[in-house]
């Protein structure tokens, strides 16, 4: 038990003096600050860091200094009051301006894409109208073709009827000519017979008839 009580202060000291993990702070944005070899102004300056330099926190001391490591690998002590949790304002402004420029570029790209989409939409609407017009024209063409087919059928039927009428008319003409020929032949035959018979009729008989 005594050994454990003796180990507690040692463990506490190790915990307090152990370097912080993955913590980053930034040098103040007011001016450049020195990084020294030790925790007093009497120690040698190892490096001057400008405002906004990200510093890795290694250890926090009790004298108002913090042990840090620069991006170049320099390890030393800096006054804790010169450290900030956030990047300097000007760096934030620069980042915001960069982000704003990126957003404006993306906005312009989106506007261009929107205009392209509007153009495509208008082209699609125009194509739809043309397609509807073509369909209407096609339907009218089909209707005209159907009417033409029907007219051709009706003309064919009329021609067939006309041919029948012509055949009947020709037949009637042949019959009429034959009848007229028979009638003419009959009249001629009757005239011949009459001409042959009249001369042989006795005149007395005629007179007798005249007497009556």
Q: Is 80 in the same domain as 13? A: yes
pLDDT at 7: 43
The rounded distance, in Å, linking the Cα atoms of 127 and 107 is 30
Q: How many domains does the chain have?
A: 2
DSSP 12-35: HHHHHHSPPSS-EEEE-SSS-EEE
Q: Is 101 in the same domain as 121? A: yes
Tokens of 49: 């860091």
Q: Is 75 in the same domain as 98? A: no
CA distances from 110 to 47, 58, 101, 119, 142 (A): 47, 46, 14, 14, 47
In this structure, is residue 110 part of a structural domain?
yes
Cα end-to-end distance, the chain, whole Å: 196
Domain end, chosen from 35, 54, 87, is at 87
Q: Domain containing 14 — which CATH number?
A: 2.30.30.40
Q: Is 93 in the same domain as 131? A: yes
Q: Domain residues for 94?
A: 88-174
The rounded distance, in Å, linking the Cα atoms of 131 and 123 is 12
What is the chain's pLDDT, residue by residue, as a tens digit (212 residues)? 444 444 444 444 444 444 445 577 766 655 789 999 999 889 999 999 988 889 999 998 878 999 999 999 999 999 999 888 887 666 666 667 788 888 988 888 898 888 898 889 888 888 888 888 888 888 888 888 888 888 888 888 888 888 887 888 888 887 777 778 787 777 877 777 777 767 666 655 555 545 54
Q: Is 65 in the same domain as 10? A: yes
Q: Is 56 in the same domain as 122? A: no
Q: Quick count: other Cβ atoms within 10 Å of Cβ 56?
A: 18
In this structure, is residue 193 part of a structural domain?
no
The rounded distance, in Å, linking the Cα atoms of 21 and 58 is 7
Domain end, chosen from 30, 65, 87, is at 87
52 and 87 in contact (C-beta within 8 Å)?
A: yes
Q: Is 62 in the same domain as 108? A: no
Q: Is 98 in the same domain as 79? A: no
The rounded distance, in Å, linking the Cα atoms of 66 and 21 is 14
Give the number of residues written for the chain: 212
For 86: left if phi > 0, alpha if psi spans -120 to 50, otherwise beta; the answer is beta
Q: Is 37 in the same domain as 8? A: yes
In this structure, is residue 206 part of a structural domain?
no
Q: Is 109 in the same domain as 136? A: yes
Q: Is 93 in the same domain as 169? A: yes
The rounded distance, in Å, linking the Cα atoms of 148 and 156 is 12
φ, ψ at 37 (rounded to 5°): -75, -30
Which residues, at least 6 apart from 89, have a Cβ–Cβ distance to it below 8 Å?
Answer: 29
Q: Is 51 in the same domain as 108? A: no
């Amino acid at each position: 038990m005594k050994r454990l009580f003796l180990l507690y202060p040692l463990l506490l000291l190790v915990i307090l003096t152990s370097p912080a993990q993955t913590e980053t702070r930034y040098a103040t944005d007011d001016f450049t600050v020195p990084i020294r070899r030790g925790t007093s102004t009497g120690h040698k300056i190892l490096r001057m860091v400008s405002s906004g330099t990200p510093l890795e926190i290694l250890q926090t001391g009790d004298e108002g200094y913090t042990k840090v490591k620069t991006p170049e690998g320099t390890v030393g002590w800096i006054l804790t009051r010169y450290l900030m949790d956030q990047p300097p304002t000007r760096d934030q402004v620069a980042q915001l301006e960069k982000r704003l420029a990126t957003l404006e570029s993306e906005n312009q790209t989106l506007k261009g894409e929107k205009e392209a989409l509007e153009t495509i939409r208008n082209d699609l609407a125009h194509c739809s109208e043309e397609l509807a017009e073509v369909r209407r024209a096609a339907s009218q063409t089909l209707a005209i073709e159907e009417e033409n087919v029907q007219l051709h059928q009706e003309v064919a039927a009329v021609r067939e009827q006309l041919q029948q009428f012509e055949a009947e008319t020709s037949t009637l003409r042949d019959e009429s000519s034959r009848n007229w020929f028979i009638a003419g032949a009959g009249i001629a035959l009757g005239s011949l017979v009459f001409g042959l018979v009249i001369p042989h009729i006795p005149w007395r008989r005629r007179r007798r008839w005249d007497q009556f």
